[in-house]
Structure 1
Amino acid sequence: MASRVTLVSPAMSPSLRQTRFYAGEPIDDLGAARARSAAPVLPSPARTVTSPSVRCEQTAAALGLDAVASPELAGSDMGRWRGRTLDEVMAAEPESVARWLADPGWAGHGGESVQEVCERAGSWLDATREADGRILAVVEPDLVRAAVVHALGLPAAVFWRLDVVPLTATELSGRAGRWNLRLGRPLDGPGSSATNSR
Structure 2
Amino acid sequence: MHRTTRILFVTPALSVAQRKAAFDDDGPLDPAGAAQARAAAGALPADARVVVSPSARCTETAEALGLTNTSSSAELAGVDAGSWRGRTLDEVGAAEPGALGRWLTEPDVAAPGGGESVAQVCARVGRWLGRVEPGAGRLVAVVEPDVVRAAVVHAIGAPPAAFWRLDVEPLTVTEFTGRLDRWNVGLGRPLTGA
TM range (shorter): over 0.9
Q: What's the C-alpha RMSD, in Å, of the aligned pairs?
A: 1.4
CA contact (8 A) 1:145 1:164 kept: yes
CA contact (8 A) 2:81 2:112 kept: no
Q: 2:25 aligned with 1:14, yes or no?
A: no
**Matched position secondary structure for 1:4:** strand
Is there any run of 5+ residues in structure 2 with no aligned partner, and where? none
Show the counterpart of 2:94: 91
Partner amino acid, structure 2, of 1:157: A
For residues 131 and 74 of structure 1, the distance between their equivalents in structure 2, rounded to whole angstroms, comes to 24
Report the TM-score when normalising by structure 2: 0.93
Is there any run of 5+ residues in structure 1 with no aligned partner, and where? 190-198
2:75 is aligned, of 67, 72, 75, to 72
Query: How far apart are 1:132 and its partner, in Å?
Result: 1.9
- 1:109-165 per-position Cα deviation (integer Å, ceiling 9, x unaligned): 210100000000011111113462111000011101000100111110000110110
Q: Structure 1: which 4+ aligned runs deviate by more than 3 Å?
A: none
For residues 48 and 87 of structure 2, the distance between their equivalents in structure 1, rounded to whole angstroms, comes to 37
Show the counterpart of 1:194: none
Alignment of 1:48-63 (within 5 A): 48-63=50-65
Query: How far apart are 1:46 and its partner, in Å?
Result: 2.9
Bigger CA drift: 77-86 or 168-177? 168-177
Partner amino acid, structure 2, of 1:82: R
Quote the sequence identity (%).
58
CA contact (8 A) 2:134 2:180 kept: no
Aligned residues: 189
CA contact (8 A) 1:19 1:85 kept: yes
